[in-house]
């Protein structure tokens, strides 16, 4: 606790906290003339809120003013100084500035405001990712109180802390992008040199081999087989598959569309709807599936048992792979079990069908721009990563017909 009344009789100390999903300024709790750290009054009740930053509030020339404070250790002294300044201005000892006071932005305030913006303007998954990076990592490890204090050394130290906690270079790269976006929003740019960025190996995306796909389809039931075929032929992401509805299927033109579903809070990634052509044979199977389900209330093509988006789609892939005895037997789950004892083989997952979709289309001559449109990539670089795993249809024939093949025969 810290003493406050005798220093700040005319300056209020507030804390910005989250209440029922929204941010609000609340009065700090005082006991025996001291403010209690991270405790505020909400509707007259004492509540503990470790999130958010501290603010000073006072009135100057009839107008309410507010100013952020770095952290709890500085709040009482800042309130004392502000109280002296306000009283001196009222007494005419110092002149009231005609220019608005330039307020420093604390790290806590910057994080709170930026996360509030992300939650409103981005998808929930993006918000959760950013919240972990900023709220858990940056807020916990940052040694500075204000945004204008951040230097290149602080960013490098953040990266070092990430490495010490076992994060890989690709993950640190992604975390760094989020942190720099935050500081750029508050005018802090060019905080690191190009050589400071983590260097990582861009891996070849894994794909399912023809034999694996055939074996999985042999061991899948009728509905599972159509589901796996749809994943392979559409290249849809997990959330896109969950929310594909019958109205998204154009049976006449053999197309499937990714469209927004406000009912379930789903919007296409990058906010762009798109259409993907499907093989005619699969479209015919989907038509028969719809006929079999005639009268069922769900408007989704692949719903769960209650007719809602199925969040367990990845487990369908893993269960079919286990049933087909394709598990590698070496993966260890978080519970300590090898995948030979359960369906959690890391070599079989839903997104791998998307990798297979992209690689096979490139292998069979689909141009990169068309594939970019089908994949829903905003940046062509995201599509070009699949070129690394592409081997053209006649590449092996050329290798076997070449001079080197004769030497190794």
Q: What CATH number is attached to the domain comprising 276?
A: 1.10.443.10
* 240 shares its domain with 366: yes
* 19 shares its domain with 150: no
Question: Could you say which of 196, 220, 251 is where a domain stops?
Answer: 196
Domains contained in the chain, number: 3
pLDDT tens across the length of the chain (409 residues):
555 444 445 788 888 888 887 778 899 988 887 888 889 999 889 999 888 788 888 887 777 888 877 667 778 888 888 888 888 777 777 655 544 445 678 888 899 999 999 988 888 888 999 999 998 889 888 888 889 889 999 999 999 999 998 999 999 999 999 999 999 998 888 999 999 999 988 788 999 999 999 999 999 999 999 999 999 999 999 999 999 999 999 999 999 999 999 888 888 887 788 999 999 999 999 999 999 887 666 799 999 988 899 999 999 999 999 999 999 888 876 666 677 666 788 899 999 999 999 999 998 889 999 999 999 998 898 899 888 877 655 677 777 887 887 778 7
* 260 shares its domain with 377: yes
Cα separation, 313 vs 300, whole angstroms: 13
* 303 shares its domain with 181: no
In a domain, 320, yes or no: yes
Query: How high is the pLDDT of residue 101?
Result: 47
* 78 shares its domain with 19: yes
Q: Which domain holds residue 55?
A: 2-90
Q: What is the pLDDT of residues 144-164, one digit of tens each?
A: 888 988 999 999 999 999 999
In a domain, 396, yes or no: no
Question: Could you say which of 90, 124, 146 is where a domain stops?
Answer: 90
In a domain, 186, yes or no: yes
Two tokens at 283? 């479209």
Two tokens at 277? 């052509």
CA distances from 52 to 29, 86, 109, 397 (A): 15, 26, 7, 64
Chain CA centroid to CA 385, Å: 20
* 79 shares its domain with 125: no
* 24 shares its domain with 114: no
Question: Could you say which of 161, 196, 231 is where a domain stops?
Answer: 196
Q: What is the pLDDT of residues 51-80, one digit of tens each?
A: 878 888 888 777 788 887 766 777 888 888
* 221 shares its domain with 368: yes
Cβ–Cβ < 8 Å for 83, 10:
yes
In a domain, 276, yes or no: yes
172's CB contacts (< 8 A; 6+ apart) are 159, 162, 163, 198
* 220 shares its domain with 270: yes
In a domain, 100, yes or no: no
* φ, ψ (nearest 5 deg) of residue 374: -65, -35
In a domain, 333, yes or no: yes
* 136 shares its domain with 184: yes
* 320 shares its domain with 371: yes
Cβ–Cβ < 8 Å for 1, 29:
no
In a domain, 102, yes or no: no
Cα separation, 171 vs 198, whole angstroms: 9
Cα separation, 189 vs 68, whole angstroms: 22
Residue 171 CB-half CA count within 13 A: 13
In a domain, 202, yes or no: no
* 184 shares its domain with 226: no
- CATH, residue 124: 1.10.150
């Amino acid at each position: 606790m810290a003493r406050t009344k005798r220093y700040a009789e005319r300056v209020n100390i507030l804390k910005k906290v989250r209440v029922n999903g929204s941010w609000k300024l609340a009065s700090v709790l005082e006991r025996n003339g001291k403010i209690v750290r991270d405790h505020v009054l909400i509707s007259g009740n004492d509540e503990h809120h470790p999130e958010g930053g501290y603010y000073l509030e006072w009135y100057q020339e009839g107008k309410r003013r507010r100013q952020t404070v770095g952290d709890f250790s500085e709040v009482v002294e800042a309130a004392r100084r502000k109280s002296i300044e306000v009283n001196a201005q009222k007494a005419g000892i110092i002149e009231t500035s005609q220019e608005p006071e330039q307020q420093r932005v604390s790290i806590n305030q910057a994080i709170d405001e930026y996360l509030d913006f992300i939650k409103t303007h981005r998808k929930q998954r993006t918000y959760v990712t950013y919240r972990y990076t900023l709220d858990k990592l940056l807020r916990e490890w940052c040694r500075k109180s204000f945004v204008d204090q951040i230097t290149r050394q602080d960013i490098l130290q953040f990266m070092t802390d990430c490495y010490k906690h076992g994060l890989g270079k690709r993950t640190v790269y992604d975390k760094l992008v989020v942190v720099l976006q935050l500081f750029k929003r508050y005018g802090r740019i060019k905080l690191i040199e190009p050589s400071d960025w983590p260097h990582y190996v861009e891996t070849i995306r894994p794909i399912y081999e023809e034999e694996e796909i055939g074996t999985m389809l042999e061991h899948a039931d009728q509905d599972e087989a159509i589901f796996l075929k749809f994943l392979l032929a559409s290249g849809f992401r997990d959330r896109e598959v969950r929310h594909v509805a019958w109205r998204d299927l154009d049976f006449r033109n053999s197309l499937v569309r990714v469209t927004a579903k406000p009912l379930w809070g789903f919007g296409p990634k990058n906010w762009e709807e798109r259409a993907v052509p499907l093989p005619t044979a699969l479209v015919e199977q989907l038509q028969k599936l719809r006929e079999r389900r005639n009268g069922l209330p769900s408007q989704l093509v692949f719903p769960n048992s209650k007719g809602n988006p199925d969040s367990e789609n990845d487990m369908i892939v893993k269960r079919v792979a286990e049933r087909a005895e394709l598990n590698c037997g070496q993966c260890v789950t978080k519970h300590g079990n090898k995948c030979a004892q359960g369906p959690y083989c890391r070599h079989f997952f839903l997104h791998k069908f998307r990798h297979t979709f992209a690689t096979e289309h490139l292998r069979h001559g689909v141009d990169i721009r068309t594939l970019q449109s089908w994949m829903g990539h905003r940046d062509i670089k995201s599509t070009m990563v699949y070129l690394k795993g592409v081997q053209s249809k006649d590449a092996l024939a050329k290798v076997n017909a070449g001079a080197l093949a004769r030497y190794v025969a």
